[in-house]
Amino acid sequence: MHHTNAHDLSCAAGQILIGGFEGHQPPQSLLDAVRHGRLGGVILFARNCHSLEQVQRLCHELAQLAPNSHPLWLAIDHEGGPVQRISANLGATKLPSAAQCAAKNNPRLTYDIAAIAATELAALGFNLNFAPVLDVDTNPLNPIIGQRAYGQTPQQVIPHALAVIAAHKDHDIFPCGKHFPGHGDTHLDSHLQLPRIDHDIERLRQVELQPFAAAIAAHCPLIMTAHILFPAIDPVLPATLSPHIIGILRQELAFQGLIVSDDLEMAAIAHHFGTNEAIVLGLRAGIDLFLICRDQNLWHDAYEHVIRAAEADTDLRDRLLCAARRIAHTKTQLNAPSPHPEWRQRLGTPTAHATCQRVTGP
């Protein structure tokens, strides 16, 4: 029998976490965590981006701190439209929204737009973009998805979503489809509350699950879960924490890649479960990677908590090590970060601007 030592557990506990911070300079505690493998990735938001030079320097500093055995995820939500973390004001290309791309009904053009996003992110040193949105925008009152979706039917969403996945893979950025099993038909924002969707599994199979099935068939490497209750499948736990809902992704859709939680600091989770409990429940449900996007105390506590919980529970320990193995396997495909001397010339180019104009222009 393979004996798990404390080092394996502490390493695994770090690898399942992607953390964020406030301000333009990461706190020393985050730098230490990255250096010692106690954090598997870092996510940046607009609040962390002061200039292109600062972002590029930050990404490469962080990447170089990480142990060679466990390269770092450098992640961002850079969808275009309302969710673009590195703004045009800093010198990135202003990207159209998913809805604007879809309105052109030309997946090749959507590919070109996503290729701009991926090229610019790679130039800055990122390797993971939480895009595309695979949600089907079936509810006009949805406060959070709307123009972030590529359409009102799965048939509209799929060709554009696949174009975005391909463009990212072709330009050395890992894409991540979101928010499983579908955030399109909610009227609450899971950042603020815990939404519920009362569809039965048949309706989910016909609508919400279709883009996820297509993305999995196209080898999308990561899928993010939604903090939403689907009482027809699990009356108690939201998708992120539900073995039944994650089970649909793993068994029915046969997804072999990484499953990542949406931010555990969102009220849908934080106010109902608490981060530490959520991570243990999420691990048991089959999540591999957890986002804690702002509060370093939370991800530090979660790290300690997961180790203690795994030491006390063999099943949880096995699940943790299984998640860490899956992450390590995926990370073997990460390119070693080497800043290109001409990186600055790859952002905000006239060609990129002209391509976006084809979508947003008259």
Beta bridge partners of 84: 78
- Rounded to whole angstroms, the Cα distance separating 131 from 120 reads 14
Amino acid of residue 303: Y
Marked catalytic residue, from 36, 191, 244, 305: 191
Known catalytic residue at 7: no
Number of C-alpha atoms within 13 angstroms, CB side, residue 172? Answer: 14
Marked catalytic residue, from 234, 262, 263, 288: 262
Q: Which two tokens stand for residue 244?
A: 């039944």
What are the two backbone dihedrals, phi and then psi, of residue 175, each rounded to the nearest 5 degrees? -85, 165
Do β-strands 78-80 and 83-84 pair in parallel, antiparallel, or remain unpaired? antiparallel
Known catalytic residue at 262: yes
CA dihedral 244, 250, 253, 257 (to 10 degrees): 140
Nearest to 219 by CA among 254, 248, 261: 254
Amino acid of residue 246: I
Q: Catalytic positions, please? A: 191, 262
